[in-house]
Structure 1
Amino acid sequence: MTIVWTVDAEKPRPEDLREAASLLAAGQLVAFPTETVYGLGANALSSAAIDRLYQAKGRPRANPLIVHVADLESAKTICSVWPDTAERLARAFWPGPLTLVLPHCGAIPSGVTAGGETVAIRVPGHPVALELLRLAGVPVAAPSANPSGGISPTLGEHVLEGLDGKIAGLVEAGPCSRGVESTVIDLSGTHPVLLRPGPLSPEEIAQVLGSDPEALLPSADKRKQGPEKSPGRMGRHYAPKAQVVCVQSEAEARACCAVWQQQGKRHAWLALQPGPGTILLPATPAEAMRSIYKVLHKIDKDLIGFLVVQLPNAEGRWLALRDRLLRASLND
């Protein structure tokens, strides 16, 4: 049975988190809230703990983990180099939804890095996560707290739906404010590269770096070189049980719904613009990201078998939502 500790999201008391922190440090698995999604935490210095994490999630070993630390100085101890680009981005966005990929110092087990020479690292922007990390006193590897490939959890109840009884504990502190996983920037090469879109747009990153947002996008010849450096890039992710079909236009969405209706299949239509029978997402990217996983969890609960999604444009903060929906529609 998974232990649940309910804490105040804004002002968590250390005494409410000490047991969870002790379990984490000892190598047990504890789920906890961040500003992005709930993470499944494991002591990043313990190979045994990392093994438990992969087993609990059913996660492919080739999919690396993000290491969470309490502050910038702790991040530097895990990396073998800390370039000026890392310093500028960390000072601009940490604590917050930004993950930096850098060469690691060798102390991190290969299970965390998928056998690669880099580590993905961030300082989360959530009071509960920060206090838990401070009390645990170890870097914590924490992918989303759900079975691999499924919908990420933004509420404690989502965590228990997939992992109750498989993990030692859950720190429950209400909904996550951002709602999708962090933006990941690779700083291990000759220039910064966006590996995973997230709440921070390419334009926001580029403004701090004084560069062109287009220069952050990976070139086709560099996307598949060596081990993966970031999670969220391997096959079907973030997916409900329903078959997801992504389209651009309202006409295409209507056509899908008409076919499913004729076949007697239970279906839904997810859109940013109101229409007959649509499930409407909020009109701003921040609100849409905050809502998307909650909506997909509700679609699962309603036993919807087929879902058509009108994609947002591939620009700015909409890029993250588009990425999650496209990956949810993949077949592998």
Structure 2
Amino acid sequence: MQSKTNNTVSDKPYLNLLQKVDFNPIFIMGDHRSGTTLLYKLLVATECFNFVKAYHILKYDELLFNHINQTEEQAIQELAQLFKSLGISNRTIDKVIVTPNLPEEYGFIINNKTGKRAGLNPNNLPILKELCRKIQLVSDPDKPLLLKNPWDFPNYMYVKSVFPAAKFIFIHRNPIHIINSKLKAIRLMLSTRCEYTALISRDYRNILNQPLRHLISRILYSPYFNFALSKVTQKTVQFHHYYFNNIIYLPKTDYIYITYEQLCDAPKTTILKSLDFLKLKSKSNFDYESVIEPRPINLLPEVTKKYDKIFQKLEPYMREISGSYAEGYKEAKKYAEILGM
């Protein structure tokens, strides 16, 4: 048996085993803060899928070694002990409980390997393919592979071009609520050291380890400057315009879409609808409602003040996906008028 050392990439002797491994990817597609994590977690709970775990990200270079040498459970326990020693209990930004088996984004692997933004492209495609084959090899080979990475929401046509048989589950949320949630999450991440994210994200570690960059980021994304709202709105509008302008080119047999609001209001029905689209049946009796925790939206004052302008930029998308998003605009405008904004 090969021994592991800190200086050895343990999987190297076994990479040839990946050549014959096949996989059928299913992608959850949605913007950051749109509910992709909740959807991922609930779909994984059906026990129908293989998926990317926190363990896969943090032990990526020894996944094959651990599987073949039957040390996977030991590695997972060591990771759980690491989380405990660092005081990590949840993801901080959304209070999702952290375990080595927490479903995670493949984008972290791409970023950690390349140091670049985690959207899929020809240069990092081999990394994702290797990751997929590794997971299939160490998991149940008869299950399809479920993936998510919000950076590929405005990139799904490229994803489809390189994985022609791929299926997509799109999740939509009122994009103004997404903007609001993004601002809160970014500010929390910059004002508080999120130990779990620091473990899995090279980008985040780099920010924390560069005091001047960290300080400038905190200032720029503070409520005292228009930069944060402008930047986040620009990206969100760009992402949703991409979806709206390209969805007509995706065969309707290859995708389904749900909304975050539907998922929260009727989680079991929404999950079963997704499984039906994929021609799968749940293998568990999971209580989907048990993980739904209603939270008030509490729009930031700057978002409320600019709601009218933001809505105008997103109106075609909002009306197409859900009339309720457009109706919500009227209520928000009344609220803004009451506050004198």
> Which structure carries more strand by proportion?
1
The one of the two structures with greater contact order (alpha-carbon pairs below 8 A, sep at least 6) is: 2
TM-score, normalised relative to structure 2: 0.29
Could you say which structure has the higher helix fraction?
A: 2
